[in-house]
């Protein structure tokens, strides 16, 4: 079934490309259609009969069809945990009035309609489509690179029954990987309402979650509930113009300052404020968060003094969809030391430098974080006192890669050179005896 879904996703991507569109242009519509299919279950063929064989759909037909019926939209909004009206823009007039858009969407609908997919099939198809978007260069801040999501999953270690939040959910791929096959409660938040729609529809397809979706800046309002796990990929380089009351409160509490407009700091404080007493915060941050001076240094010292920093995971360059070097930070209460991890030792590089991580290494990373386990060449503990003295959280400030120097005698080197010269001479002789023409 998974192979069939790869083929189906390839067909959908091909339809988009042939008509001059990228997959993200139709992602929310496709996910919405798949949610309707999932909801009507075995009756989906009767529903999709409206679209089988069509090569175009007129604007009025789109607006009056069951596909965009207000009752259907309301039902899916409730099913996905969305606020009322959030899905109403899936048929935005500026797109549905484009003839090319209608032709393409009709072909996609026909392709989906002719494939007999059960709930597991819909989940696999949604995953394949989202992974394609995630790995694309256009993804950038909307989604997280697949390998980083796998690392986050191992570090967050979400359990059944836990309450989990992602304050910068993007398209939901990373959170979906972290919560995969878990029966948990998810709260998603993003400043972009389209991201929240896509994430809600996607997560509703891939798991049986209790889902709550919110739109807005995660840092500006106090969380209504506390969470066992908060997982976020902070948007890089963001700054706020003016601080509101809640932002000032959390800065004073966690950062020992009432004035810092850096998004990195604000999202960290907001994430910590949303945790239960024994909760865990997992963040992907730009490398500069670990060493910047000024207010950032004050904030790091405050976090250290509160014994909140549990782990620093050094990520290899080029893993995410930006050119910025990143690290993963883990925060929990009650840490007398910090475990540092070199993630490059857990990641395999395949053809064309494709990165992957084995299930065994994911389990090892989970053990390293949960038990602060030291593994030679991979993870090491650093005392809170040493971190206070240095002030910089960067992996390279505490660990240097030792290079083994192998010495050889001049005689051995000359011997190798002579052997190479003899081989070259033999090849030259063979070339000289070759006939170019018979």
> Which CATH code is given to the segment(s) 140-397?
3.40.50.150
pLDDT at 266: 93
d(CA 180, CA 409): 57
* Residue 13 φ/ψ, nearest 5 degrees: -65, -40
How far from each other are the two terminal CA atoms of the chain, in whole angstroms?
Answer: 57
Residues of the chain with pLDDT under 70: 1-6, 37-69, 89-99, 102, 113-114, 116-117, 135-144, 318-323, 350-354, 400-405, 434-438
Rg of the chain in Å (alpha carbons): 26
Q: Which long-range contacts (CB under 8 A, 24 or more apart) does 390-395 make?
A: 391/297, 391/300, 391/301, 392/290, 392/291, 393/289, 393/290, 393/291, 393/300, 393/309, 393/312, 394/287, 394/290, 394/291, 394/327, 395/312, 395/314, 395/327, 395/340, 395/342
pLDDT at 184: 94
Per-residue three-class SS string for 127-173: HHHHHHHHHCCCCHHHCCCHHHHHHHHHHHCCCCCCEEEECCCCCCH
pLDDT at 61: 52
- Residue position matching structure tokens 């190479």: 420
For the chain, the domains span 2-135, 140-397
What does DSSP assign to residue 262?
A: B
- Bridge partners of 337, per DSSP, are 383
The three-class DSSP label of residue 293 is coil
Which residues, 6+ apart, have CB-to-CB distance to 186 below 8 Å?
A: 81, 164, 165, 166, 175, 179, 203, 209, 210, 211, 212
Nearest residue to 104 (alpha-carbon basis) of 31, 10, 16: 16
pLDDT at 436: 57
pTM exceeds 0.85: no
Our CA angle for 290, 234, 295, nearest 5°, is 40
In DSSP notation, 108-120 reads HHHHHHTS---HH
């Amino acid at each position: 079934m998974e192979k069939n879904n790869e083929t189906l996703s390839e067909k959908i991507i091909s339809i988009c490309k042939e008509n001059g569109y990228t997959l993200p242009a139709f992602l929310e519509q496709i996910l919405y259609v798949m949610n309707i299919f999932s909801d009507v279950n075995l009756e989906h063929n009767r529903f999709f009969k409206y679209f089988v064989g069509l090569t175009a759909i007129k604007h009025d037909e789109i607006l009056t069809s069951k596909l965009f019926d207000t009752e259907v939209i309301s039902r899916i909004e409730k099913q996905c945990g969305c606020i009322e009206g959030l899905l109403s823009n899936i048929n935005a007039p500026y797109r549905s009035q484009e003839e090319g858009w209608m032709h393409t969407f009709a072909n996609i609908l026909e392709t989906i309609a002719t494939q007999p997919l059960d709930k597991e099939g819909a989940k696999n198809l949604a995953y394949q489509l989202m992974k394609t978007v995630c790995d694309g260069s256009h993804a950038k801040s909307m989604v997280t690179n697949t390998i980083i999501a796998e690392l986050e999953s191992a570090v967050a270690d979400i359990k059944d029954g836990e309450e989990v939040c992602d304050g910068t959910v993007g398209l939901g791929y990373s959170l979906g990987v972290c919560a995969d096959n878990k029966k948990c409660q998810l709260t998603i938040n993003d400043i972009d309402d389209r991201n929240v729609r896509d994430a809600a529809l996607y997560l509703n397809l891939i798991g049986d979650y209790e889902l709550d979706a919110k739109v807005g800046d995660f840092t500006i309002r106090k969380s209504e509930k506390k969470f066992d796990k908060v997982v976020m990929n902070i948007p890089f380089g963001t700054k706020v113009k003016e601080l509101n009351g809640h932002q000032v409160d959390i800065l004073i509490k966690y950062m020992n300052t009432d004035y810092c407009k850096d998004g990195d700091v604000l999202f960290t404080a907001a994430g910590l404020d949303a945790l239960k007493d024994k909760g865990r915060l997992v963040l992907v941050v730009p490398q500069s968060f670990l060493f910047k001076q000024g207010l950032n240094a004050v904030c790091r010292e405050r976090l250290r003094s509160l014994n909140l920093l549990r782990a620093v995971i050094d990520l290899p360059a080029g893993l995410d969809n930006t050119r910025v070097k990143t690290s993963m930070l883990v925060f929990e209460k009650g840490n007398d030391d910090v475990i540092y991890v070199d993630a490059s030792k857990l990641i395999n590089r395949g053809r064309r430098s494709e990165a992957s991580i084995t299930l065994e290494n994911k389990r090892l990373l989970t053990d390293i974080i949960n038990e602060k386990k030291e593994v030679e060449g991979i993870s090491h503990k650093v005392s809170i006192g040493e971190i206070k003295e240095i002030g910089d959280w960067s992996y390279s400030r505490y660990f240097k890669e030792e290079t083994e120097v192998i010495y050889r005698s001049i005689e051995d080197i000359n011997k190798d050179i002579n052997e190479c010269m003899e081989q070259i001479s033999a090849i030259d002789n063979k070339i000289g005896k070759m006939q170019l023409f018979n």
